[in-house]
Structure 1
Amino acid sequence: MKASDVRSMTQDELTDELVKLKKEQFNLRFQRATGQLENTARVRQIRRDIARIKTISAQKAAGAQA
Structure 2
Amino acid sequence: MRVDKLRELSVEELNDQLADLKTELFNLRFQLAVGQLENPMRIREVRRSIAQVKTILREREIRREA
Shorter chain as denominator, the TM-score bin is over 0.9
Q: What is the rounded CA distance, in whole Å, between the counterparts of 1:5 and 1:61 in structure 2?
A: 18
Q: What is the rounded CA distance, in whole Å, between the counterparts of 1:58 and 1:27 in structure 2?
A: 26
How many residue pairs are counted as aligned between the two chains?
66
TM-score (ref. length: structure 2): 0.97
Q: What is the rounded CA distance, in whole Å, between the counterparts of 1:49 and 1:63 in structure 2?
A: 21
Unaligned runs of 5+ in 1: none
Give deviations 1:8-66, integer Å, cap 9, x for gaps: 01000000000000000000000000000001111000000000000010001111111
Moved over 6 A (4+): none
Q: What is the rounded CA distance, in whole Å, between the counterparts of 1:61 and 1:16 in structure 2?
A: 17
Q: Secondary structure at the match of 1:38?
A: coil
Using CA pairs under 8 Å that are at least 6 residues apart, name the structure with larger relative contact order, 1 or 2.
1
